[in-house]
């Protein structure tokens, strides 16, 4: 025993290199240190955003203290309104034909439910990398998983016979419990589903890496340490006095050597799973501390199922079996086991189930809004004229017009082949109803308050009224349409699709309202003048004298509300409070139980693949050294860099050393191995489980050139067994893309795992750091390498969500500003005021999201873009009414605008939506509760408070000095005209 020994950092006399860093810690450089966190942004030691918001606040207060659409549109809309009333049936027929032709596209409607299609654009980096991975290696497998705990609260001690400290075992590792879990696992394996008359079992769809030699399904379970057998679990070695080895000793051995084919206890049982691969303990156990797997409090059983890229029949078979599994688990009961479970289809199933369970809630919400609209439109003069003065039929017609505009928009884009999403179907009716109902109330209530002038006919009166109100409707609708169409520039498919459909629906709704609805209003007005009953228009009441009075809400706004908030002492309080508020703003599902348990018990996150694109020459030493991790490999090779990243897993989220097909191939092919053998006479490969034959002799060097490609296919087809545990069929058959008749290597991957990821920031951080690591590897290899994990396509949106949000909201505000400027006769200051108010609403929406714990994602971004559109309705009508008012000063003009338009906005959009939104609070779905009820409620309340409280006060301080009407008045003979009601002398030479 006097042989010379060598340190692992020393080379051997035969020229062999020292050990690699992964095998010899002395050969490693200093342990990598995570970069320091960026320091917080401060100004004078105070959070920078707080300082900036206070500066803006004080600047706005200082400005407040220092400051104690045009005639052509009016004429155009007046003429058009008169035409619609004079030819109602022609206009209505034309509108019906337009809606019918447009809605015909619904025949070609296609609804996208694939989450990948919703959240990831085809041109995005994650989507392109996913498509690359799927096309070269096949789609990522589907997952069926159980997390099993026990209500039993006991710990038992195991005393090894051959000495050593006692080992405590958790209750979940009690042998009786393990037998019960094994019964459950075997029952799941025996499940039979039916698809189109065919019986589908787990073996028909499961991942079996050694098929056809071994058709056992991959089951990641510690019971595979016992070959999924009750008999092996009960296997003991001992005599009548002592037990030398049993399941305890075998378990302790297997968690340290899960790929072992023969444990070193007296049992000599294998640890390798029946499917031919190892079961790593961090994948099959949960709730332990560090590497003390014996303290585990949960068992994790995973059934990987094949996924199919372009085979819908086989995919449907997998879905059918998963459905059978879910039904089985919902009915499974065992008092000793507490089980959380999930299948690949579970999330989509539960979304559908919750959405379907909330259909009644949604229907009730819309019914309440419909009933309110139908009843609130009428202006009842007396009890005897209830059925004459009511506007039920007109209200229903208005609602049908809104729904028709939605159907027309969906149909037109369906003609173009644009797929719908659930967001479009759920959100756009709400949006268009908010905009459309507001306009309906403005038209009808303006008509109800108006007195017909002498010698004026009905069509002239309605035309004149439309000339008064349609410009503001046109202003708001154009602003919203342009804003939404600009929102379609987003890279997020869900946001882009919503913006397209919403913009077109709002524009069509405006066209139908100024044509079809105006014609219906004329017909209804004639009915009312003839004392005919609403709905039953053939019944006529006797002629009687009627007195026209203002409605209660209009009187309240005119006599009480508007004068109060515009009092001298109230206005500064409102402005200061609004600005301060703006600054300060800066469950019944098994799947929910599963996610809670996953976050609590799992110790390893999802797999991550470092994909080396085709083109790298693995047959050359240089090509091998930049990838491999063993002796002679580069210190900055792919495997080495991923290994170093795993040393600081708290920062990088890379959990373990990657599995390297290249290093295992070198071990498999070396002469000392009993793996690589072939028949001398024929050259055919001989599996190591067969007869021993002369081994392949490639010397002490790695195979290169033709030898490398000659033996690689043998390695990838060799099954691991007792004589050769390095066979690559199970682990790497899908990791190497061979082509050109197995003479060239295309793309390859090296797989590792992320650390456990619990919250959205964890997933985002994992994606960012994996990409940083892949970029570093690409630079070292001078070859393209990217990181891929199944969740990247869903979380990539968060890498750019702030930019997308700023872009979409910025474009929306810019569009609103430009359109408002043009349609208000280039009143830049009025457009600025509208934009400022809407920006304040959006800022407050962010505050509500923070207070209510609503995350910023594609769904909430859609709602934020929608809040911009709806906010226009709260602001533009009042600003235009202020602009055209002929009162003598800002305060009086603001009061008049609020009195006349405020009541319509309040009754038309605020009350309509408020009643419907409150019903959404009864929703069982978390999606509806968080992203619809909470955000919709915030949109309406913030819009109403800013549009009906803050905006009139702001106009009274900094609104334009005189009205647009004054500045556009004049005569055709070049005379100067000055309105007598305006204190400033605004003149226009015509």
Q: Which has the minimum average pLDDT: 113-122, 171-180, 227-236?
A: 113-122
**Helix, strand, coil tally for the chain in percent (to 5):** 55, 10, 35
Q: In this structure, which long-range contacts are made by residues 912-917, counting pairs with CB atoms below 8 Å and at least 24 apart in sequence? A: 912/369, 912/372, 912/373, 912/376, 912/433, 912/434, 912/437, 913/369, 913/430, 913/433, 913/434, 913/940, 914/940, 915/368, 915/369, 915/372, 916/365, 916/366, 916/368, 916/369, 917/365
Residue 612, classed as helix, strand or coil, is: strand
Do residues 222 and 232 touch, judged by C-beta distance below 8 A? Answer: no
- Report how far apart, in Å, the C-alpha atoms of 2 and of each of 5, 617 are: 9, 44
Supply φ then ψ for residue 975, to 5 degrees.
-80, 155
Do residues 831 and 821 touch, judged by C-beta distance below 8 A? Answer: yes
Question: Please, what's the b/e burial string for 674-699 (b: 16 or more CB within 10 A of its CB; e: otherwise)?
Answer: ebbbbeeeeeebbbbeeeeeebbebe
**Which 8-state DSSP code applies to residue 332?**
-
Statement: residue 699 has pLDDT above 60: no
- pLDDT for 317: 92
Q: Which has the minimum average pLDDT: 5-19, 479-493, 517-531, 961-975?
A: 961-975
- pLDDT for 778: 94
Residue 147 vs residue 422, higher pLDDT: 147
Render 519-565 in DSSP notation, one character per residue. Answer: HHHHHHHHHHHTTBPSS-TT-BPPP--------HHHHIIIIIIHHHH
Question: Is 0.95 topped by the overall pTM?
Answer: no
Pairing outcome for strands 142-149 and 338-342: antiparallel
Domains and CATH numbers, the chain: 71-108+378-540 (1.20.1640), 139-350 (no CATH), 550-580+799-960 (1.20.1640.10), 602-794 (no CATH)
- pLDDT for 177: 94
- pLDDT for 550: 60
Q: How far apart are CA 221 and CA 233, in angstroms?
A: 13
Question: How many percent of the chain have pLDDT more than 70?
Answer: 79
- pLDDT for 320: 93
Q: How far apart are CA 98 and CA 96, in angstroms?
A: 5
Q: How far apart are CA 907 and CA 901, in angstroms?
A: 10
The two tokens of residue 70 are: 């045009």
- How high does pLDDT run on average in the chain? 80
pLDDT tens, position by position, 475-514: 778 877 877 787 777 777 777 787 888 889 888 999 999 9
- pLDDT for 696: 46
Statement: residue 974 has pLDDT above 50: no
Do residues 719 and 213 touch, judged by C-beta distance below 8 A? Answer: yes
With both helix axes pointing from N to C terminus, report the angle between 858-884 and 493-512 in degrees, rounded to the nearest 10: 30
User: If we measure between CA atoms, which residue out of 213, 282, 134 comes closest to residue 604?
Assistant: 282
**pLDDT band of 697, cuts 50, 70, 90:** very low
User: If we measure between CA atoms, which residue out of 119, 794, 872 comes closest to residue 490?
Assistant: 119
Q: How far apart are CA 863 and CA 849, in angstroms?
A: 11
Q: How far apart are CA 571 and CA 131, in angstroms?
A: 59
Compute the average pLDDT of residues 354-378. 67
Compute the average pLDDT of residues 647-653. 90
Question: How many percent of the chain have pLDDT more than 90?
Answer: 24
- pLDDT for 584: 44
Q: Which has the minimum average pLDDT: 489-498, 629-638, 795-804, 824-833?
A: 489-498
pLDDT tens, position by position, 780-794: 999 999 999 988 888
Q: Which has the minimum average pLDDT: 183-192, 412-421, 590-599, 939-948?
A: 590-599
Q: How far apart are CA 910 and CA 518, in angstroms?
A: 23
Residue 884, classed as helix, strand or coil, is: helix
Range from 16-30, 80-94, 386-400 that averages highest in pLDDT: 80-94
Compute the average pLDDT of residues 103-119. 79
Our CA angle for 553, 932, 871, nearest 5°, is 50
Other Cβ atoms closer than 10 A to 822: 15
- Cα 839 to chain centroid, rounded: 24
- pLDDT for 469: 83
Q: How far apart are CA 55 and CA 49, in angstroms?
A: 10
**pLDDT band of 803, cuts 50, 70, 90:** confident
Compute the average pLDDT of residues 715-741. 81
Q: How far apart are CA 239 and CA 243, in angstroms?
A: 6
Statement: residue 861 has pLDDT above 60: yes
Q: How far apart are CA 834 and CA 816, in angstroms?
A: 8
H helices present in 853-934, as ranges = 858-884, 890-897, 903-905, 911-920, 926-927
Compute the average pLDDT of residues 860-869. 80
Render 352-367 in DSSP notation, one character per residue. Answer: HHHHHHTHHHHHHHHH
**pLDDT band of 209, cuts 50, 70, 90:** confident
Do residues 518 and 462 touch, judged by C-beta distance below 8 A? Answer: yes
- pLDDT for 253: 93
Residue 898 vs residue 683, higher pLDDT: 898
Residues 6+ apart with CB under 8 A from 731: 209, 277, 659, 661, 664
Compute the average pLDDT of residues 403-415. 90
Q: Which has the minimum average pLDDT: 284-288, 757-761, 966-970?
A: 966-970
**pLDDT band of 49, cuts 50, 70, 90:** low
Q: CA dihedral defined by 636, 642, 648, 649, rounded to 10 degrees?
A: 170
| R_g of the chain, CA atoms, integer Å | 37
Q: Which has the minimum average pLDDT: 119-123, 695-699, 789-793?
A: 695-699
Statement: residue 766 has pLDDT above 50: yes
Q: How far apart are CA 367 and CA 349, in angstroms?
A: 27
Q: Do you know the residue count of the chain?
A: 990
Burial of 612 (0-12, 13-18, 19+ CB in 10 A): buried
HSE (side-chain half, CA atoms, 13 Å) at 732: 27
- pLDDT for 359: 63
Other Cβ atoms closer than 10 A to 888: 15
Burial of 383 (0-12, 13-18, 19+ CB in 10 A): exposed
What residues are paired with 654 via a beta bridge?
A: 754
**pLDDT band of 807, cuts 50, 70, 90:** confident
Statement: residue 303 has pLDDT above 70: yes
Supply φ then ψ for residue 643, to 5 degrees.
-60, -45
Statement: residue 602 has pLDDT above 60: yes
Compute the average pLDDT of residues 366-376. 72
Statement: residue 681 has pLDDT above 60: no
Q: Which residue has the tokens 């955003």?
A: 49
Other Cβ atoms closer than 10 A to 529: 11
pLDDT tens, position by position, 53-72: 666 555 555 444 444 345 67
Q: How far apart are CA 499 and CA 901, in angstroms?
A: 28
> Which residue spans within 756-826 are E strands per DSSP?
785-788
Statement: residue 319 has pLDDT above 80: yes
- Report how far apart, in Å, the C-alpha atoms of 470 and of each of 440, 452, 520, 788 are: 11, 18, 16, 54
Do residues 128 and 209 touch, judged by C-beta distance below 8 A? Answer: no
- pLDDT for 975: 36
Q: CA dihedral defined by 404, 407, 412, 417, rounded to 10 degrees?
A: 180
């Amino acid at each position: 025993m006097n042989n010379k020994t060598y340190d692992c950092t020393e080379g051997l006399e035969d020229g062999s290199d020292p050990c690699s860093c992964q095998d010899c810690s002395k050969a490693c450089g200093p342990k990598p240190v995570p970069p320091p966190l960026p320091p917080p942004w401060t100004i004078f030691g105070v959070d920078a955003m707080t300082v900036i918001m206070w500066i803006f606040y004080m600047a706005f207060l200082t400005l407040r203290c220092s400051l104690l659409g045009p005639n052509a549109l009016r004429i155009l809309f007046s003429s058009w309104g008169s035409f619609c009333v004079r030819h109602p049936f022609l206009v209505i027929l034309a509108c019906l034909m337009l809606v019918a032709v447009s809605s015909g596209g619904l025949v070609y409607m296609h609804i996208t439910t694939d989450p990948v299609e919703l959240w990831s654009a085809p041109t995005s980096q994650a989507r392109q990398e996913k498509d690359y991975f799927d096309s070269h290696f096949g789609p990522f497998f589907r997952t069926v998983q159980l997390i099993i705990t026990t209500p039993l609260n006991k710990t038992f001690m195991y005393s090894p016979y051959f000495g050593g400290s006692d080992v405590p075992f958790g209750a979940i590792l009690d042998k009786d419990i393990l037998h019960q879990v094994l019964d459950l696992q075997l029952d799941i394996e025996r499940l039979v589903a039916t698809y189109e008359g065919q019986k589908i079992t787990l073996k028909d769809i499961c991942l079996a890496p050694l098929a056809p030699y071994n058709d056992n399904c991959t089951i990641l379970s510690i019971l595979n340490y016992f070959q999924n057998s009750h008999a092996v679990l009960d296997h003991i070695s001992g005599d009548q006095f002592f037990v030398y080895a049993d399941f305890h000793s075998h378990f302790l051995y297997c968690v340290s050597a899960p790929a072992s084919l023969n444990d070193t206890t007296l049992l000599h049982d294998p640890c390798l799973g029946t499917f031919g691969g190892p079961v790593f303990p961090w994948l099959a156990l949960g709730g332990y501390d560090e590497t003390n797997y014996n303290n585990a409090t949960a068992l994790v059983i995973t059934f990987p199922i094949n996924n199919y890229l372009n085979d819908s029949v086989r995919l449907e078979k997998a879905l059918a079996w998963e459905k059978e599994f879910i039904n089985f688990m919902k009915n499974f009961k065992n008092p000793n086991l507490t089980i959380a479970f999930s299948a690949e289809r579970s999330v989509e199933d539960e979304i559908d189930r919750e959405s379907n369970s909330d259909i009644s809630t949604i229907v009730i919400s819309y019914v309440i809004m419909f009933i309110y609209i139908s009843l609130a439109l009428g202006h009842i003069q007396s009890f005897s004229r209830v059925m004459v003065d009511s506007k039920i039929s007109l209200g229903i017609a208005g609602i049908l017009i809104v729904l028709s505009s939605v159907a027309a928009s969906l149909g037109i884009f369906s003609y173009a082949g644009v797929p719908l999403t659930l967001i479009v179907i759920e959100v756009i009716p709400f949006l268009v109803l908010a905009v459309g109902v507001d306009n309906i109330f403005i038209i009808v209530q303006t008509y109800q308050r108006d007195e017909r002038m002498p010698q004026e006919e009905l069509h002239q009166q309605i035309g004149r009224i439309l000339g008064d109100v349609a410009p503001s409707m046109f202003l708001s609708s154009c602003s919203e349409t342009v804003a939404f169409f600009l929102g379609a520039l987003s890279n997020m498919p869900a946001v882009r699709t919503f913006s397209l459909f919403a913009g077109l629906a709002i524009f069509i709704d405006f066209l139908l309202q100024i044509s079809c609805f105006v014609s219906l209003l004329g017909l209804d007005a004639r009915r009312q003048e003839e004392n005919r009953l609403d709905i039953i228009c053939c019944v006529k009441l006797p002629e009687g004298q009627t007195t026209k009075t203002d409605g209660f809400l209009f009187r309240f706004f005119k006599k009480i509300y508007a004068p109060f908030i515009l009092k001298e002492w109230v206005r500064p309080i409102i402005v200061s409070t609004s600005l301060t508020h703006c600054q300060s703003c800066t469950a019944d599902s098994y799947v929910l139980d599963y996610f809670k348990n996953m976050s609590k018990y799992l110790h390893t996150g999802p797999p991550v693949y470092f994909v080396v694109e085709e083109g790298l020459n693995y047959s050359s030493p240089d090509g091998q050294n930049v990838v491999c991790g063993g002796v002679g490999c580069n210190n900055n090779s792919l495997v080495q860099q991923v290994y170093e990243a795993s040393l600081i897993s708290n920062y990088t989220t890379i959990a373990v050393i990657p599995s390297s097909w290249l290093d295992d191939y070198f071990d498999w092919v070396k002469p000392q191995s009993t793996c690589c053998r072939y028949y001398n006479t024929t050259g055919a490969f001989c599996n190591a489980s067969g007869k021993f034959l002369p081994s392949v002799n490639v010397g002490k060097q790695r195979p290169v050139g033709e030898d490398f490609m000659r033996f690689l296919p043998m390695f990838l087809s060799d099954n691991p067994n007792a004589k050769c545990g390095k066979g690559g069929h199970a682990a790497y058959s899908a990791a190497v893309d061979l082509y050109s008749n197995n003479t060239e290597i295309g793309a390859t991957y090296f797989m590792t795992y992320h650390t456990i990821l619990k919250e959205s920031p964890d997933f985002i951080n994992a994606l960012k750091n994996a990409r940083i690591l892949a970029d570093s590897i690409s630079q070292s290899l001078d070859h393209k390498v990217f990181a891929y994990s199944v969740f990247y396509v869903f979380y990539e949106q968060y890498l750019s969500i702030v930019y997308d949000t700023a872009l979409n909201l910025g474009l929306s505000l810019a569009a609103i500003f430009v359109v408002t400027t043009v349609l208000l006769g280039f009143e830049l200051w009025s457009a600025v005021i509208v934009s400022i108010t809407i920006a304040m609403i959006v800022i407050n929406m962010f505050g509500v999201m923070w207070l209510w714990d609503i995350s910023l994602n594609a769904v909430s971004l859609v709602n934020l873009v929608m809040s911009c559109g709806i906010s226009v309705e709260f602001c533009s009508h009042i600003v235009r009414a202020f602009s055209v008012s002929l009162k003598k000063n800002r305060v009086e003009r603001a009061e008049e605008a609020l009195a006349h338009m405020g009541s319509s906005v309040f009754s038309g959009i605020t009350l309509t939506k408020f009643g419907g939104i409150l019903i959404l609070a009864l929703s069982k779905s978390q999606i509806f509760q968080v992203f619809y009820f909470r955000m919709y409620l915030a949109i309406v309340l913030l819009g109403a408070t800013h549009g009906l409280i803050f905006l009139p006060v702001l106009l009274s301080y900094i609104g334009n000095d005189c009205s647009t009407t004054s500045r556009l008045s004049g005569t055709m003979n070049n005379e100067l005209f000055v309105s007598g009601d305006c204190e400033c002398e605004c003149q226009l030479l015509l």
